[in-house]
Amino acid sequence: MITAPKLRIEGYVIVSAEGCLADSNGVMPDVLKFKGDQQFFEGALDRAALIVHGRNSFEDQPNSPKRKRLWVTRHVAGLAPDPTNDNALLWNPAGASFEHACQAIGIGDGAAAIIGGPSVFEMFLDRFDIFWLSQAPHVNLPGGQPCFPGVPERSPQQILSDHGLIARETIELDAANEVSVTAWQRG
Ligand SMILES: NC(=O)c1ccc[n+]([C@@H]2O[C@H](COP(=O)([O-])OP(=O)(O)OC[C@H]3O[C@@H](n4cnc5c(N)ncnc54)[C@H](OP(=O)(O)O)[C@@H]3O)[C@@H](O)[C@H]2O)c1
C-alpha cells in the first residue's frame, strides 16, 4: 500500500492519438516531442521534490543530476543506494513501501513526479492527486506502447476516470500541432 500523506503525487505523460507513449520498438520517437510540452514537463520537474521512474523513463534534462529520484527496479530486494548517483535510490516496490522509500531518500513533502513507464504509472493510479495528460492528436504510433495497462481497450482518459480522477483545466502547449495538456484531479 502506497502511503505518503504530505506528498502530492503527480503524473506526467504525453501520448499519441492511440494513447501510446512510445512506438512499436518501445522507444519514445521524436515525433512525440514538442517544445511546448517539453518546457512544461521540465518546469514541473524543476519544482518537484522527488522524481520516480522505471529503467527506461529517465528524463535526461539539464537539471536531472540535481534531482532526488527513486529508480524503480526488480534488481534490488527493497531499497539500495544507486552506485552511480548520490541523489538516487534503487527501489523495488515489492520489498519496500513508497513511504519507506520517501523516508529513506529524505523527502516528506512537496510533489513527487511519477514519469513512467506504464507499470510505474499503474502502481500510482489510485494515489495520484493530479495527472497531467498531454495529448498529441495528430501523432499516430501504430502498434505502439500504451501509456497504461488496459489501453487501447479503454482510453487513457477512461482509465484515469475509472481511478477517480476528473478532467479540469486544459492548457494549450503547441497550437500548430494542437498539443495540449489536461489536468486530471482527484475528486
Ligand atoms: N511519452 C512519454 O511521456 C513517456 C513517458 C515515460 C516513458 N516513455 C517512454 O516509454 C518507454 C517506457 O519504457 P518501459 O516500458 O521499459 O518502462 P519503464 O518503467 O521505463 O522501464 C521498465 C523497467 O522499470 C522497472 N520497473 C517497471 N515497473 C516496475 C515494478 N512495478 N517493479 C519493479 N520494477 C519495475 C523494471 O526495471 P528492471 O529491469 O531494472 O527491473 C523494468 O524493466 C520508454 O521508451 C520511454 O522513453 C515515454
**Which protein residue's CA is at the shortest distance from atom 15 of ligand 1?**
117
Distance from the alpha carbon of residue 176 to the mean position of ligand 1, in angstroms: 30
165: nearest Cα among 183, 147, 184: 184
Name the residue among 141, 129, 178, 186 with its Cα closest to residue 162: 186
Report domain extents, the chain: 8-61+110-186
d(CA 45, CA 52): 11
> Which CATH code for domain 8-61+110-186?
3.40.430.10
pTM equals: 0.96
Q: What is the pLDDT along the chain (187 residues), one digit of tens a residue?
A: 455 558 999 999 999 999 999 999 999 999 999 999 999 999 999 999 999 999 999 999 999 999 999 999 999 999 999 999 999 999 999 999 999 999 999 999 999 999 999 999 999 999 999 999 999 999 999 999 999 999 999 999 999 999 999 999 999 999 999 999 999 999 7
Distance 68 CA to ligand 1 centre (A): 18
Task: Establish how many alpha carbons lie within 13 A of residue 2's alpha carbon, considering only the half-sphere containing its beta carbon.
Answer: 19
Place of cell 540535481: 66
What spacing in Å lies between the alpha carbon of 104 and ligand 1's midpoint?
Answer: 22
Q: Which H/E stretch holds residue 37? A: helix 35-47
